[in-house]
Chains A and B, each alone.
Chain A
Amino acid sequence: MTALLVAEGLTKVFHRRFARGGDLCAVDDVSFTVHRGNVFGFLGPNGAGKSTTLRLILGLIYPTAGRVAIAGHDLSTDRLRALRNVGAFVEAPSFYPYLTGRKNLEIFTGLSGGVPAAEIDRVLELTGLKGREHEAVQVYSHGMKQRLGIAACLLPRPELLVLDEPTDGLDPHGIRQTRELIVHLARAEGLTIVLSSHLLSEVENLCNRVVILDRGRSILEGELAALERQCRRLEVSVDRPEKAAALLREKFGLAAEIHDTAFQAVQDHGQDARATGLHVVLDGTDLAAVNTALVQAGFAVRSLAPEARWLERIFLERTSSTDPGVRATEAQR
């Protein structure tokens, strides 16, 4: 795997002369590497700095510190070559509303050196816009504009695709179609994709590598599979949880935490409402072996399941709500 996009120590300070908060560090010393063939996700709450980071890697804004290289070309010294094989939109795709979808594609791709008409047809087909291409963009629905945005990014054929919240504002059908398209582009067409999202399920389903951003800082970065192994908990509902924890520590060297979130699950099943549970990070230990050991030692194991929304938990634990109102109520508790 070779590196296609390298960002080192990216920092962006917005000087806000008249704002009350003063200067704002929207991106703070963020580094990451995107390898060829990756689907790389930026995850973070609203205002975390995802769009700002994407603007930095596309040369739309200049970093206060740090550097970006795409396909070996430094963005600050060789912007044109760096961007030659990139298709991107930031914030939301934008078009000239009074021109047709097709005309928009023609003129934007003209800025990249132009593409044959057949290629435009192929991409219109792929994004499901064939038949509507001769209508002015101002009559397009939000979903069609979003798809036209992806179509524009695919012309001329890029090596790196950068999409900022590609499913933002779409209905469930639109979200599913867009995700299927992204999967197709990554698997079948072999594109390297960088996308941002505030939706956990999106990143979990699409990406193989993530960065979680919070208030401009990268708080977690890595392979999704590795993060899952390190962070995803096994939720065990068992009688005598202290004893069970001791057993797991002794036998597998696992640190189990006594917890009562299993409480609810047990209650739902109409069983002893006072039963408590264990949370344990398996980190590679076989789940079946853990189950067998507990049962053989005579524990009543009522349920044993990998945590369903582990990424959401990490996200909520480690990121902050940027809405000041919400933050204030949190502080009161």
Chain B
Amino acid sequence: MNAVGATGASGSISLGAVLRFEWTKLAGRRITWVPFLVLTLVVLIIVTTFHHLQFIYARSLFKTFGFVFQNKDEFVNGYYMTAHAMNPVFQLLMPIFISVAAGLMVAGEAEHGTLRACLVRPVSRTRLLLGKFVMLAGYSLALALFAIVLLTATGVLSFGTGNLYSLNILFNNGQEGASMVPAAEVPMRLVGAWLLATTGLMILAAMALLISALVESAAMAYVLTLSIYFAFLTLRSFPFLDWLYPYLFVTHMLRWQQCFYSFVKTGEIYVSLIHLAGYLIALLAAAVLLFEQRDIKN
């Protein structure tokens, strides 16, 4: 390796050099690769289950909304599997993976003393933290892409394609009824859902990093982050609190679920995107400001 990353006019090294630094650390840690393994196992379990289930209960639910199916082959296909598997993957697994990665990035490094080893070098704290955010965002993006590609590929290979029928209540979006998306439209809907879901995860990444930048241990960071996330998710499961939904960040994080409606409400999606952008800026600004002022005591 020859003289990496020249120092800029500000005296600090470039964001690119910080990213290379973060990448080396991320890639070298075994725990970074565990989520990919977990996702693979989860997808394998889902495929196996889909092979064996008869979907009798789902069929009776569809019937109450006017979709009558004689057997599961009429509605269970690769798209159905992908869309429905996105729920646990993006609501449960991804937040856990991201919280852990974020917790290790700042609080974990503080705990192990490597944060102070970084900060006695002429690198701006803001740039270091933003570098970590970009790396975390990239990591989330890669995980999300991996999950959705693996799900779609195994789903389509095992069960073929077809129209996507879905029960709205499964997506917990406060809407009754069932939806149908024509087969030709599904790939675009999946891409849209992936993009929106990943954008939502960025908020969680920013929040996790903010918390990570403030506490002294990785465990504290991810316990706090996940507690906040799941507390808000729980609020969303009480129907009598539906007036509160638009003000909860998790509502906007889960807006991707609407991509599987019969008709996409673009207006609501734009509102969510604006909210997500607002949360992102606020969380990152808070993280940077507080991290600049924090005493590195470990």
* Chain A residues at the B interface, C-beta cutoff of 8 Å: 55, 58-62, 78-81, 83-84, 86, 88-96, 98-99, 103, 106-108, 110-117, 152, 162
Of the candidates B7, B28, B29, B113, which one forms a contact with A94 in the assembled complex, judged by CB atoms under 8 Å apart? B113
Residue on B nearest A98 in the bound complex, by CB: B28
Given known contacts A62-B293, A111-B17, A113-B5, A84 and B122 CB-to-CB distance under 8 angstroms? yes
The yes or no answer to B296 lying at the interface (CB within 8 A) is: yes
Q: Does B124 contact A (CB under 8 A)?
A: yes
- Asked whether B114 lies within 8 Å of A80 as measured between CB atoms, the reply is no
A4 vs B119: C-alpha distance when bound (angstroms): 20
Instruction: Tell whether A96 pairs with B25 under 8 Å between CB atoms, given A83-B120, A83-B121.
Output: yes
- Cα A62 to Cα B41 with chains together (Å): 47
What are 18 A-B contacts defined by CB distance under 8 Å?
Answer: A60-B116, A60-B120, A62-B293, A80-B123, A84-B11, A84-B122, A88-B120, A89-B120, A92-B113, A93-B117, A95-B114, A98-B29, A99-B25, A107-B21, A110-B20, A113-B7, A113-B122, A152-B117
Query: Which residue in B4, B113, B124 is a CB contact (below 8 Å) of A80?
Result: B124
Q: Which of B6, B117, B295 has the most CB of A within 10 A?
A: B117
Contacts of A78 in B (CB 8 A): 11
Which chain B residue shows the least CB distance to A56? Answer: B295
Question: How far is A106 from B30 in the complex, measured between Cα atoms in Å?
Answer: 20
Q: Tell me whether A117 and B121 are in contact (CB under 8 A).
A: no
Contact present for A86 and B120 (CB under 8 Å): yes
Residues of B near A55 (CB, < 8 A) are 116, 296-297
**Size category of the binding interface on chain B:** 35 or more
Most buried by B among A84, A86, A94, A106: A94
Cα–Cα, bound, A80→B10 (Å): 8
| Complexed CA–CA distance, A60 and B297 (Å) | 8
- Whether, in the assembled complex, B1 has its beta carbon less than 8 Å from a beta carbon of chain A, the answer is yes
With CB as the reference atom, state the residue of chain B lying closest to A12.
Answer: B295
Q: How many Å from the CB of A132 to the closest CB on chain B?
A: 18
CA distance A316 to B96 in the complex (A): 53
Tell whether, in the assembled complex, residue B21 and residue A111 are in contact, meaning their CB atoms are under 8 Å apart. yes
B24 on the A face (CB < 8 A): yes
Residues of B within 8 A of A81 (CB): 11, 122
Complex-state Cα separation, A95 to B118, whole angstroms: 10
Q: Which of A62, A90, A108, A162 interacts with B118 by CB under 8 Å?
A: A108
Chain B residues within an 8 Å CB radius of A152: 117
- The residue that B25 contacts in the complex, of A62, A93, A107, with Cβ under 8 A, is A107
Q: Would you give the 0/1 interface string for B116-134, flagging 1 where the beta carbon is closer than 8 Å to chain A?
A: 1111111110000000000
Q: Which residues of A contact B113 (CB under 8 A)?
A: 91-92, 94
- Lowest 8 CB-CB distances: which A-B pairs, in order? A94-B113, A80-B11, A114-B4, A61-B295, A111-B121, A113-B7, A60-B296, A114-B3
Residues in A neighbouring B124, C-beta threshold 8 A: 80
Interfacial chain A residues near B116, Cβ < 8 Å = 55, 60, 90-91, 94
Known contacts A60-B116, A60-B119, A84-B122, A110 near B28 by CB under 8 Å: no
Indicate whether B49 reaches chain A with its CB closer than 8 angstroms.
Answer: no
User: Is A115 a contact partner of B28 (Cβ separation < 8 A)?
Assistant: no
Q: Is the CB of B28 within 8 A of A103?
A: yes
For the complex formed, measure the closest distance between the CB of A18 and the CB atoms of chain B, giving whole angstroms: 14
Q: Does B234 contact A (CB under 8 A)?
A: no
Please tell me if the beta carbons of A80 and B297 are within 8 angstroms of each other in the complex: no
What residues of B have a CB within 8 angstroms of the CB of A116 in the complex?
2-3
Most chain A CB within 10 A, of B6, B24, B293, is at B24
Shortest Cβ distance from A88 into B: residue: B120
The answer on a CB contact under 8 Å between B24 and A117 is: no
